[in-house]
Amino acid sequence: MFRTLACFLVASTFSFSAETPPPGHDHSQEIPGLKKELFAGITADDLLRPGSTPNSVKVVLVATFNAANYGMNFNGYSHGKAVLTVPVGWKVDVTFINPSPIPHSAIVCEKAETKKLQIAEPYFEGGATPKHIMGQTMGKSEFSFTPDEAGEFALACGFPSHAVAGHWISLNVSAEAKVATLQFGDQPAKEVK
């Protein structure tokens, strides 16, 4: 019981501090030890690109792209603030890159699951990096899934406590959308081409 409570308290404190950095915290500060050649030339727009076949998209997720949210970001975005919208039934091919010595991973889950300390299984078959709970460092892996259900999902880091600290972006699977769109924060969504 005490252990459960302690875990909960640690998680809540962590989540709070991740959302409200202390005054003077500099997001442009670099995270040490990044293997930069692993993500040379990749930008936030690579979060969603057209796929090589019709009705598919290509997603490149770089964990610890920069120092935002203490490195717990994908291509600079955390807390769901990059929104990928994909029509239902489209294939999603994901390349996951972690250039840092801190373990991270990627898993597709329901949006509500980002509030959990640990995410057990991908919501759609095939939708996670290998051993997502253990994570991986200084490397790359690929996975694909085809969402067959509309709803609000997330591409989250599956390393315990990272999603709850904001290490996730939004994935909306839409029954109405005819094209894939990418949205950053309050900016308008743009069609990916």
> Based on CB atoms, which residue is closest to Cu ion, 128 or 192?
128
Residue 45, by phi and psi: left (phi above 0), alpha (psi -120 to 50) or beta? alpha
E strand segments, 73-150: 82-87, 91-98, 107-110, 139-145
**Cβ 188 to Cu ion shortest distance, Å:** 28
User: How far apart are the two ends of the chain, measured CA to CA in Å?
Assistant: 52
CB neighbourhood size of 99 (10 A):
23
**Cβ 100 to Cu ion shortest distance, Å:** 9
> Based on CB atoms, which residue is closest to Cu ion, 13 or 55?
13
**Cβ 167 to Cu ion shortest distance, Å:** 4
> Based on CB atoms, which residue is closest to Cu ion, 39 or 159?
159
Residue 29 in 3-state DSSP? coil
Q: Which residue is nearest to Cu ion (CB)?
A: 157
Using CB under 5 A, list all residues that contact Cu ion. Answer: 104, 157, 159, 162, 167
> Based on CB atoms, which residue is closest to Cu ion, 62 or 192?
62
Residue 144: CA atoms inside 13 Å, Cβ hemisphere, count? Answer: 10
> Based on CB atoms, which residue is closest to Cu ion, 161 or 181?
161
Strand order across the beta sheet in which 49-50 lies:
49-50, 56-62, 91-98, 139-145
**Cβ 74 to Cu ion shortest distance, Å:** 9
**Cβ 30 to Cu ion shortest distance, Å:** 17
